[in-house]
Amino acid sequence: MIIVLKNNVKDAEKKHIQEYLESRGLKVREIIGEKETVLGAVGSVSIDFRQIELLPGVSQVIPISKPYKLASRELQKEDTIFDIGPVTIGGNRVVVIAGPCAVESREQIIESALAVKKAGAVILRGGAFKPRTSPYSFQGLGEEGCRYLKEAGELTGMPVATEIVSPNDADMMKEYIDIFQIGARNMQNFELLKKVGSMGMPVILKRGMSATIEEWLMAAEYLLSSGTEKVILCERGIRTFETMTRNTLDLSAIPVVQKLSHLPVIVDPSHGTGLRDKVLPMALAGVAAGANGLIIEVHPDPEKASSDGPQSLYPEQFEKLMCDLETLSSVVGKEVS
Amino acid sequence: MIIVLKNNVKDAEKKHIQEYLESRGLKVREIIGEKETVLGAVGSVSIDFRQIELLPGVSQVIPISKPYKLASRELQKEDTIFDIGPVTIGGNRVVVIAGPCAVESREQIIESALAVKKAGAVILRGGAFKPRTSPYSFQGLGEEGCRYLKEAGELTGMPVATEIVSPNDADMMKEYIDIFQIGARNMQNFELLKKVGSMGMPVILKRGMSATIEEWLMAAEYLLSSGTEKVILCERGIRTFETMTRNTLDLSAIPVVQKLSHLPVIVDPSHGTGLRDKVLPMALAGVAAGANGLIIEVHPDPEKASSDGPQSLYPEQFEKLMCDLETLSSVVGKEVS
Amino acid sequence: MIIVLKNNVKDAEKKHIQEYLESRGLKVREIIGEKETVLGAVGSVSIDFRQIELLPGVSQVIPISKPYKLASRELQKEDTIFDIGPVTIGGNRVVVIAGPCAVESREQIIESALAVKKAGAVILRGGAFKPRTSPYSFQGLGEEGCRYLKEAGELTGMPVATEIVSPNDADMMKEYIDIFQIGARNMQNFELLKKVGSMGMPVILKRGMSATIEEWLMAAEYLLSSGTEKVILCERGIRTFETMTRNTLDLSAIPVVQKLSHLPVIVDPSHGTGLRDKVLPMALAGVAAGANGLIIEVHPDPEKASSDGPQSLYPEQFEKLMCDLETLSSVVGKEVS
Amino acid sequence: MIIVLKNNVKDAEKKHIQEYLESRGLKVREIIGEKETVLGAVGSVSIDFRQIELLPGVSQVIPISKPYKLASRELQKEDTIFDIGPVTIGGNRVVVIAGPCAVESREQIIESALAVKKAGAVILRGGAFKPRTSPYSFQGLGEEGCRYLKEAGELTGMPVATEIVSPNDADMMKEYIDIFQIGARNMQNFELLKKVGSMGMPVILKRGMSATIEEWLMAAEYLLSSGTEKVILCERGIRTFETMTRNTLDLSAIPVVQKLSHLPVIVDPSHGTGLRDKVLPMALAGVAAGANGLIIEVHPDPEKASSDGPQSLYPEQFEKLMCDLETLSSVVGKEVS
């Protein structure tokens, strides 16, 4: 922790600040400059830095330790790379996860699975529990949806991913699925993170709409410290003042995260933009920016989708995307899984 | 729903759009202007408006129905006013809820309760379950904390409020507390909202850090449609680019919400600013803006608080606030409960 | 400047960083903690801190000097208080500046001046040059507007304030007006700041829509370092994701600015909210938060206003506001000028 | 304009609203639905829509005309494509503009020009007037800088672009440069826009840090309506809550703008991210998202740059970027100029 003192700090104030810090087990060192004096305080104790900020004579307090450990590249230098069934995630692989927003019926999810598999996807997605802004909207098929999803995954040889919205569902869902997904709205639902982490299975962790990159890594820290090592970060757009897109896809977050953390990071251009005709360019942009993969909504008949139809690709559009991806990946030194 | 057509829309396109809407049960009417043509489509069916936006010839689609019903002032014109034990909330009352961020011990919460009661608070707050950004921080006393809180409330004759973080705790907590609080990070944890709403008890619903006013009212709609009528909205700051305050307290939201909804709305200047010396001015500002109450963190010894000490008032500061509030309330035609 | 080193920094890297800093005239001191090592570097040289951030072994660089000097309370401890004609600004005075958005005609501005004077305003405002988002909107009466404004001010004994949009107008405007206003969109129009500052006259500096408090104070620094000492800061709302108000009035900025700077700070609730019925509550909230004054749009006939009619008060509403203000000011230890 | 009426609107209120609109020359039509009644009002008159919003019985007013005309694709369906000297901009070309942040000396800009030309850039950039946040920072070489820039451009056969900060400089600058650049901070400096537009020369218009896409197109409208047809839009990052990058590069804006407007749009990854190691991935991402070009800061010796060194590429890095760009462009059906 760095404590910047006021220009006109009194000796008694400075002494009190030093004693305050030392009495809490911190080692303090003073740096006197021409324009300012700062105290450096280090140690393994954690103090709410605002506490110090309120002491007389203090101008500003700057915390310096990163709050996340397990997620940090300082702890683990090499990229985290792991397998989910036949699929390798991380490193120089570009993994494509695709499927409909919601599992609507057995037929629909099987049809979707066949279509995305054919085009080159390697993991199947589909929502069984849908967190909806309105209590009056379709809330998903629940366990029935998980069952259909599993069947579609087995039929096509793809691992399956779906969103979990309550800790109470975790044990049931484990029987059906291969990857848990934590949605943006639940990124700081810490009870959910602890439960899901304790399952030890792969997790896709979406970035919250207003989460800083640090908070996102702290949410990953909850998962990692609860018992799983297989965390996939997913950028899906942040909330800004711009209203012409549903969210603002923050692709700069990708190189930033990759420098700070060893975890793989993928992009969700479907939620990030909210409109089908923006999905293709932003998917390519995500991979160009260095993403380790994509998660894409594809629906056999988007006009009839029960949710998020307008941001779902037609199967033909998805095929086009997979082709472009193949060429693009080699430009950035990657390989489509 | 209003569909603005492109200037150069073709007749066939227009016809297709009209048929599309009518086939879904909407009544369509055309308005031809000098500069633009629009279609108005009304009916009780709900369609994802982005679906229409993707049809050829469409320039823009504008939804016009408000998605919340029970929370809306159109459904209920008069302010919602209700009692919690001896306390009346809503209308022209200014209710003050106070107490420490976290229940740390039996002694600490009793001491806090006595102090805030003496100064004029009418409801006691204190956290038993703390949702913390870091998995390594103090997470609260849990049920033990609830028990102490209840004891402190009974001793001082005040109803008690505490945050709930998991649907699984609701039945246990009901035995101890009078008011559930939903934190900002859980504002769109819909499973939690449904469970808490079903308890039929009063709920304080904090606005999410990046929640629009409409999303906030939709979250209230989840509570109202699940079985409670006693919802108190709480503005606690939104996330913006400004970093000198923890959040940006959005006081304009108060008159906006009061025009749209009949629910009481209070202000949390402690979390809204994050620093003790900003709490007093922003508390007064909140009531001047028309708030129906305040929720304030007060700690008998803030320097020793296990969480959020720097934003907790000293008991003397809280007394000063209550005095100022008394005078201020009369200026805005209100009365401190 | 504080340089946080990577956990796994090599000795050679550390040495290179130290030499780099020392070769640029900085004094360097090392602080070794259990979890991290930091270098403190102080001196009067200015280096772009990102330069250091790119050196091998560096984890993070934290600048510690405040970039503003003349605007800082460290340089001047006491509040800046000054007179504009008969009006005292700063300290414990609440000054009310009022008038129409735009000067539309001689009659309109005289009528406005009489009305706001009668209700208790002490400075007259009115726009002669209007920066409009659309090139097709009314752009103001220009010099003619300034002349009418001066006449209305003299008639009612009030100093007058108006917005300047081009450095080329400064010398002409000086003949007519008492206070220059820099609009939010021009807060970082540095050529304009330098010219206006050099006039040595009072200036109202509106906060830019996306300006941090630090950038706002830096813009004040431009004015102060160019030759004027009479700068009034004006909070008028920042841009956030919320769309129900035109801007989000950031009232927490008031106590924050007052701690950092000695300059008076006022609030513009008219632009801050954009709607008449929100102006009264937010004006009171601003003063409750500690503002040194208000700038309010009042129009004798808002429905006929050529711009911003919907956010202009009727004269009767303004009278009501002035009454409430009188009572409120005493609560916060202030006095309406 | 669409006027949504309140559910409980009275007949007299509705009549008054209709008369109000018709008296102002609008044609009004009513649409009665099951849940709501709306009025559609069309015509060539412009009314501040908030005026209507304040009438009794009105729930919401929705403007439907796009405020920009000349910039709109409705007016001109085909992409704007134009030549600047030997360079073609727009359509399926990817144009690369490169050079140092500031012109620091004759030698430096010539060295820069040779380096970027060799790597494949076709337009040279360099700042002569630098709008700096601090009045104490280097403000550029002014006319001398323009002269050096022109010399470097002629030597290498490249048109040159530089930023203009004051309308008073336009006539002087015209003698030296080929393309004016409007910086983000001046995007709504309307006096500057009008003057620069009237020069009839090509203009790069950077998006303001907090400008919506609509405001950006309105600023382009100022240029177009003042006399130039050669406007290049430039996305350079918007201000959000995320602080790990200087700005958040909004790449989704590219497909959005391309649908709304016929103007070419380029990306500035240097300012958009603020750090050299993020420039390469974000430059590629920009072109993958569909941009018509890039503007990149390159410096022969970034560590010695007088401004923005940390975000400037080394010449070798720029060469690598140009190579990658060549391959990538073909994936998205484009060609590097």
pLDDT tens-digit readout, C69-81: 899 988 899 999 9
Round to whole Å and give the CA distance between B21 and D326.
46
Three-state SS across B275-291? Answer: CHHHHHHHHHHHHHCCC
pLDDT of residue C165: 94
Note the pLDDT of residue A34.
63
Termini Cα distance of chain D: 44
pLDDT in tens, D204-236: 999 999 999 999 999 999 999 999 999 999 999
**Mean pLDDT value of segment B172-187:** 97
Choose from D252, D317, D328 for mutation: most chain A CBs within 10 A: D252
Which of D 167-206 lie inside 8 A of A, CB atoms?
A: none
Question: Which tens digit of pLDDT belongs to each residue from C13-42?
Answer: 999 999 988 888 888 888 776 667 888 887
Where does chain C show beta strands of DSSP type E? 2-5, 27-32, 37-42, 58-62, 82-84, 87-89, 93-99, 123-125, 160-163, 179-182, 203-206, 231-235, 265-267, 293-297, 335-336
Q: Do C189 and D190 touch (CB under 8 A)?
A: no
Work out the minimum CA distance from D336 to partner chain C, whole angstroms.
Answer: 30
Tell whether the model's pLDDT for residue D45 goes beyond 70: no
| pLDDT at residue number B149 | 98
Q: What pLDDT, on a 0 to 100 scale, did the predictor assign at position A301?
A: 87
Facing residue for A218 by CB, picked from B133, B186, B190: B133
Option in C134, C166, C310 nearest D191 (CB): C166
Q: Do A288 and D284 touch (CB under 8 A)?
A: yes
Check CB contact of C19 with chain D, cutoff 8 Å: no
State how far residue C16 is from chain D, nearest Cα, in angstroms: 14
* Amino acid of residue C57: G
Mean pLDDT of B282-286: 97
Q: How far does the CA of residue A243 sit from the closest CA of chain C (Å)?
A: 8
**DSSP 8-class letter at C65:** S
Q: Are A129 and A143 in contact (CB under 8 A)?
A: no
What the block records as the tokens of C127 is: 């726009």
Minimal-distance CA residue of chain D relative to A269: D252
Interatomic CA distance for residues A15 and B160, integer angstroms: 42
Each of the 337 residues of chain A gets a pLDDT tens digit; together they read 788 888 788 889 999 999 888 888 888 888 776 667 888 887 766 677 777 888 888 888 877 767 788 999 888 999 999 999 999 999 999 999 999 999 999 999 999 999 999 999 999 999 999 888 778 777 899 999 999 999 999 999 999 999 999 999 999 999 999 999 999 999 999 999 999 999 999 999 999 999 999 999 999 999 999 999 999 999 999 999 998 888 999 999 999 999 999 999 999 999 888 888 899 999 999 999 999 999 999 999 888 887 777 889 999 999 999 999 999 998 889 999 8
For residue C34, the chain A residue with the least C-alpha distance is: A43
Smallest Cβ–Cβ distance between D74 and the set B7, B31, B65 belongs to B7
Mean pLDDT for C135-160 is: 94
Say if CB A183 and CB A212 are below 8 A apart: no
- Tell me which residue of B224, B226, B294 sits closest to B265, measured CA to CA: B294
Q: What is the DSSP letter of A307?
A: S
Stretch among A326-335, B225-234, C39-48, D73-82 having the lowest mean pLDDT: C39-48
B226, B194 in Cβ contact below 8 A? yes
Does ipTM exceed 0.85?
Answer: yes
* CA proximity to C100, closest of C78, C74, C124: C124
Q: Taking the C-alpha atoms of A312, A316, A322 and A324 in order, what is their torsion angle to the nearest 10 degrees?
A: -110
Q: Which of B134, B176, B171 is nearest to B152 (CA)?
A: B176
End-to-end Cα, chain A, rounded Å = 44
Among A277-286, B11-20, B81-90, B144-153, which stretch is predicted with the lowest mean pLDDT?
B11-20
Residue in D209, D123, D208, D195 with CA at minimum distance from that of residue D165: D195
CA A8 → CA A37, C68, C73, C75, C232, distances in Å?
Answer: 10, 16, 10, 9, 25
Q: How many other CB atoms sit within 10 Å of the CB of residue A335?
A: 12
Q: Is D307 on the interface with C (CB under 8 A)?
A: yes
Least confident of A60-74, A265-279, C202-216, C276-290: A60-74
Chain C residue closest in CA terms to A9: C74
Distance CA B252, CA C267 (A): 13
**Tokens 């945050």 belong to which residue?**
B163
* Helix, strand, coil content of chain A in percent (nearest 5): 40, 20, 40
pLDDT value at position A239? 95
Q: Tokens representing D330?
A: 């073909």
Flag whether residue B227 sits within 8 Å of chain A, measured between CB atoms: no
The tokens describing A150, both together, are 């599993």
**Rounded to whole angstroms, how far apart are CA atoms D315 and D321?**
10
Q: Does D301 touch chain C (CB under 8 A)?
A: no
For B135, name the nearest residue in chain A, comparing CA atoms only. Answer: A222
The CA distance from C329 to the nearest CA of chain D, in Å, is 30
Domains A2-62 and A82-336 share a fold: no
Closest CB to A42 among C31, C60, C64? C31
Domain range list for chain C: 2-62, 82-336
Please list every residue in chain A whose beta carbon sits closer than 8 Å to the beta carbon of residue D331. 284, 324, 327-328, 331
**Measuring CA to CA, how many Å separate C39 from each of B251, C20, C173?**
42, 12, 52
Min Cα separation A37/chain C (Å): 8
pLDDT at B46: 66
pLDDT tens-digit readout, C219-233: 999 999 999 999 999
- As a whole number of angstroms, the distance between CA A59 and CA A17 comes to 12
Judged by CB atoms closer than 8 Å, whether chains meet at A42 and C64 is answered as no
pLDDT at A266: 98
Dist. CA A251–CA A288, nearest whole Å: 10
Question: Which residue among B244, B278, B330 places its CB closest to the CB of C213?
Answer: B244
Mean residue pLDDT of chain B comes to 91
pLDDT at residue D274 tops 80: yes
What's the confidence (pLDDT) of residue D44?
62
Domain B82-336, classified CATH 3.20.20.70, yes or no: yes
Q: What is the pLDDT of residue C45?
A: 63
C15: CB partners within 8 A, 6+ apart: none
Is D165's CB within 8 Å of C190's CB? yes
Q: Does C194 sit within 8 Å of D135, measured CB to CB?
A: yes
Q: Which of D212, D278, D286 sits opposite A242 (nearest CB)?
A: D212
| Any A CB within 8 A of D46 CB | no
Flag the least confident range among B104-113, B241-250, D51-60, D82-91.
D51-60
Contact state of C34 with A40 under an 8 Å Cβ cutoff: no
Per-residue confidence (pLDDT) for residue D33, from 0 to 100:
67
Helix (H), strand (E), coil (C) string for chain D:
CEEEECCCCCHHHHHHHHHHHHHCCCEEEEEECCCCEEEEEECCCCCCHHHHHCCCCEEEEECCCCCCCCCECCCCCCCCCEEECCEEECCCEEEEEEECCECCCHHHHHHHHHHHHHHCCCEEECECCCCCCCCCCCCCCCHHHHHHHHHHHHHHCCCEEEECCCHHHHHHHHCCCCEEEECHHHCCCHHHHHHHHHCCCCEEEECCCCCCHHHHHHHHHHHHHHCCCCEEEEECCECCCCCCCCCECCCCHHHHHHHHECCCEEECHHHHHCCHHHHHHHHHHHHHCCCCEEEEEECCCHHHCCCCHHHCECHHHHHHHHHHHHHHHHHCCCEEC
Q: Which residues of D219-251 are buried (b: 16+ CB within 10 A; e: fewer)?
A: bbbbbbbbebebbbbbbbbbbbbbebbbbbbbb
Query: Among D185, D194, D310, whose Cβ lies nearest the Cβ of C48?
Result: D310
| pLDDT the model gives residue A246 | 87
| pLDDT value of position D62 | 77
Q: Is D33 on the interface with B (CB under 8 A)?
A: yes
Q: Are A332 and A291 in contact (CB under 8 A)?
A: no
What's the token pair of residue D248?
């958040």
Is the pLDDT confidence value at C270 over 70?
A: yes
Within 8 A of C299 by CB-CB distance, chain D residues are none
Q: Tell me the chain C residues in contact with residue B244 when contact means C-beta distances shorter than 8 Å.
A: 212-214, 253, 256
Report pLDDT for D41.
Answer: 80
Alpha helices (runs of H) in A157-251, residue ranges in sequence order: 170-174, 190-198, 213-226
Q: Do B250 and C242 touch (CB under 8 A)?
A: yes
- C48 contact D CB<8A: yes
The proportion of chain C whose per-residue pLDDT surpasses 90, expressed as a percent, equals 67
Q: Nearest CB to A222: which of B135, B191, B222?
A: B135
**Does A44 reach chain C within 8 Å, measured CB to CB?**
yes
CA-based nearest residue to D168, from D200, D142, D201: D142
Query: Is residue C292 classed as helix, strand or coil in its secondary structure?
Result: coil
pLDDT of residue A45: 63
With an 8 Å Cβ cutoff, are B74 and D8 in contact? yes
Q: How many CB atoms lie within 10 A of CB B259?
A: 12
Mean pLDDT of chain C: 91
Question: What is the structure's pLDDT at A310?
Answer: 81
Please check whether residue B46 touches D, CB under 8 A.
Answer: no
Angle between helices C143-156 and C106-119 (to 10 degrees): 40
B67 touches chain A (CB under 8 A): yes
Disruptive mutation site among C54, C64, C76 for chain A (greatest number of A CBs within 10 Å): C64
| D173-196 mean pLDDT | 96
pLDDT tens string C35-49:
678 888 877 666 777
If you ran DSSP here, which 8-state letter would residue B6 be given? P
- Give pLDDT, residue B304: 81
Other Cβ atoms closer than 10 A to B336: 19
Task: Check if CATH label 3.20.20.210 holds for domain C2-62.
Answer: no
* Residue in C5, C241, C242, C259 to test binding to A, most A beta-carbons within 10 Å: C241
Backbone angles phi, psi at C25, to 5 degrees: 90, 15
Taking the CA of residue D281 and the nearest CA in chain A, the distance in Å comes to 4
Give which of B22, B42, B72 to mutate to test D binding, by max D Cβ within 10 Å: B42
Q: What is the pLDDT of residues C249-263, one digit of tens each?
A: 999 999 999 999 999
- Are C227 and C42 within 8 A, CB to CB? no
- Given CA atoms D283, D284, D289, D290 in this order, what sign does their dihedral have? positive
